[in-house]
C-alpha cells in the first residue's frame, strides 16, 4: 500500500499505502443531486504515518488510537507489518555482509559458504512475503478499505518484486553450486600422516 510522502521514514520500498481519491463532484446532497465542487481528496496510509489532504497537520501517526480501541485486530496486524518490514531491512543487511564475506574469502569460503547466502536470501523472501500477505489480507478484509477508490500503491508491488528477486537469487545460488563445475585454484594436499 504506498509511496513516500513528506516526513516519511525514508523507507518507500518497504512502506505501504492505500490511496483514496474521491471527487466531491460525485457526492450527493440531500436532494440526491451531484454537487459540483470538483475537489479531490487523497489519503495515503503508510506503515507508521497517514497523510491526508483533509488533515491538519498533513501527516499523522498511524494507526490512530481510535482504530486500536476495542477488539480491533487491525492495529496489531498493521504494527506487525511495520516490524516485519524493519526486520527484513536488517536481514537484507546481514545477507549483504554474508555475501561480501563469502565472495572475498577465497575459494574455500565460496564453495562452503553458498548455503548461508542462499538461506539468508530465502529468509528475507519469506519474511517479506509474510508482511505483503498481511497487508493484502487487511486490504481485502478490513472495513476501512471497503470504500471504493482505495488501491495498493507502488511500494506494495516493489516489495513483492523484491521478495521474488531474493527467492530467485537463492535458487540461482543453489543451482550454481550443484550445476557449475568447481573453480580452479588451490587444491588441498593429502596429509601423508593420514595415508
Three-class secondary structure assignment of the chain: CCCCCCCCCCCCCCCCCEECCEEHHHCECCCCCECCCCCEECEEECCCEEEECCCCCCEEECCCHHHHCCCCCHHHHHHHHHHHHHHHHHHHHHHHHHHHHHHHCCHHHHHHHHHHHHHHHHHHHHHHHHHHHHHHHHHHHCHHHCCCCCEECHHHHHHHHHHHHHHHHHHHHHHHHHHCCCCCCCCCCCCHHHC
Domain-embedded: residue 89:
yes
Domain-embedded: residue 78:
yes
Domain-embedded: residue 134:
yes
Given a cut of 60, whether residue 13 has pLDDT beyond it is no
Q: State the CATH number of the domain containing residue 131.
A: 1.20.140.150
Kindly report, residue by residue over 95-134, the tens digit of the pLDDT. Answer: 999 999 998 888 788 888 899 999 999 999 999 999 999 9
State the residue range of the domain holding 111: 18-24+36-181
Domain-embedded: residue 29:
no
Domain-embedded: residue 49:
yes
Report the pLDDT averaged over residues 136-154: 85
**165 or 54: which leads in pLDDT:** 165
Structural domains counted in the chain: 1
Amino acid at each position: 500500500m504506498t509511496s513516500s510522502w513528506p516526513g516519511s521514514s525514508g523507507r518507500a520500498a518497504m512502506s505501504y499505502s492505500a490511496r483514496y481519491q474521491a471527487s466531491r463532484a460525485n457526492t450527493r446532497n440531500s436532494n440526491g443531486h451531484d454537487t459540483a465542487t470538483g475537489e479531490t481528496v487523497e489519503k495515503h496510509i503508510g506503515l507508521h504515518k497517514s497523510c491526508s489532504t483533509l488533515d491538519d497537520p498533513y501527516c499523522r501517526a498511524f494507526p490512530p488510537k481510535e482504530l486500536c480501541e476495542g477488539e480491533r485486530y487491525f492495529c496489531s496486524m498493521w504494527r506487525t507489518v511495520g516490524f516485519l518490514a524493519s526486520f527484513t531491512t536488517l536481514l537484507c543487511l546481514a545477507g549483504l555482509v554474508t555475501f561480501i564475506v563469502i565472495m572475498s574469502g577465497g575459494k574455500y569460503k565460496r564453495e562452503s559458504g553458498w548455503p548461508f547466502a542462499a538461506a539468508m536470501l530465502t529468509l528475507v523472501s519469506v519474511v517479506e512475503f509474510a508482511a505483503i500477505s498481511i497487508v493484502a489480507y487487511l486490504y481485502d478484509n478490513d472495513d476501512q478499505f471497503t470504500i471504493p477508490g482505495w488501491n495498493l500503491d507502488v511500494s506494495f508491488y516493489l516489495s513483492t518484486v523484491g521478495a521474488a528477486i531474493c527467492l530467485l537469487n537463492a535458487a540461482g545460488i543453489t543451482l550454481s553450486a550443484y550445476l557449475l563445475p568447481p573453480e580452479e585454484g588451490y587444491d588441498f594436499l593429502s596429509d601423508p600422516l593420514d595415508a
